[in-house]
Amino acid sequence: MDAESVVKAKEVRDDGSVVEIVVWRLAQPLSPCVHPYKYRLYFGADGQCRVRYDNERGKGDHRHANNVEEAYQFVSISQLLDDFQHDVETWR
């Protein structure tokens, strides 16, 4: 699978929480996705995932929050980052 890195960033915050964003552009979409991106956006603390957005072959785009997984409607990388940022900022 040929992939080009688009974004790779990791921040460890003062409270110990971790925010990590990794996005690749693929030569072909990862089925069942129709967009050419593979991504993993993670927010967690104390070894526990609070929010994660990712996609994988056979599963497509999805979001994890508070131990619940749900489908995510991918629109664009910009919207994905906005949605993730909103979830991180409003997580409780």
pLDDT tens readout for residues 10-58: 999 999 999 999 999 999 998 999 999 999 999 999 989 999 999 999 9
pLDDT of residue 67: 85
Residue 92 clears pLDDT 80, i.e. is over it: no
pTM score, whole prediction: 0.91
**Contact at 8 Å (CB) between 79 and 19?**
no
pLDDT of residue 74: 97
pLDDT of residue 47: 87
